[in-house]
Chains A and B, each alone.
Chain A
Amino acid sequence: MLRVEKLNFSYGEIQVLTDVSFQVNEKEFVAIFGPNGHGKSTLLKTICGLQSPISGSIEYGGKKINTLPVQEIVEMGLVYIAEDRHLFPDMSVSDNLRMGAYNRNARAKESENLDYVFQLFPKLKLLRKQVASSLSGGEARMLAIGRGLMSNPKFLAIDEPSFGLAPNLCLEVFRNIEEIRKRGASVLLVEQSTTLASDYADRICIMEDGKIVFSGTKEEALGKKEIREVFLGI
Chain B
Amino acid sequence: MDTWVYKIPSALIDGVTIGSVYALMALGLSLVFGVTRTYNFAHGSFYTWGAYLMWYLPVLLKRNLPYPVKFAIVVPIMFLFGWIFEKIVVRPNRKSPNWIITVLICTLAAALIFDTTALVVFGPLSKAIPPLFEGKIRLGNFVVYVNDLGVFAIAMLAISALTLFLNKTRQGTAMRAVAQDLTGAKIVGVRADKIFGYSLGISAVLAAIAGILAAPKYFISPMGGWVPYIKSFVIVFLGGLGSFKGTVCAAFILGIVEAMVVIYLMKAWVMPVWFVVLIGILILRPKGLFGIWE
Contact = CB atoms under 8 A, between A and B. Distances in A.
Interface of A: 50, 69-71, 74-75, 79-82, 84-91, 95, 98-104, 106, 147-148, 150-151
A75 to B, nearest CB: 6
Nearest to A82: B187
A104 B190 CA distance: 10
Given A86-B187, A99-B173, A99-B174, A71 B192 contact: yes
A69 B176 contact: no
Interchain residue pairs A-B with the least CB separation, the first 3: A103-B189, A86-B184, A74-B189
Given A87-B181, A88-B181, A147 B173 contact: no
B64 interface: no
A91 B172 CA distance: 13
A147 to B, nearest CB: 7
Contacts of B188: 74, 99-103, 147, 150-151
A74 B187 contact: yes
B176 A88 contact: yes
B189 A102 contact: yes
B169 interface: no
A191 B97 CA distance: 32
Given A82-B183, A100-B188, A102-B188, 19 more contacts: A50-B183, A50-B186, A71-B186, A71-B191, A74-B187, A79-B187, A82-B187, A84-B183, A86-B184, A87-B184, A89-B180, A98-B173, A99-B174, A101-B188, A102-B177, A102-B190, A147-B188, A148-B187, A151-B189
B95 interface: no
Nearest to A104: B189
Interface residues of B, number: 18
Nearest to A49: B186
A81 B183 CA distance: 11
A79 to B, nearest CB: 8
Contacts of A84: 183
Nearest to B243: A90
A103 B187 CA distance: 10
Nearest to A81: B187
B183 A71 contact: no
Contacts of B292: 90
Among B185, B188, B189, which residue has the most Cβ atoms of chain A within 10 A? B188
A102 B183 contact: no
Contact of B189 (A50, A75, A86, A90): A75
Given A70-B187, A71-B190, A74-B187, A102 B181 contact: no
Interface string B155-187: 000000000000000100110110011011111
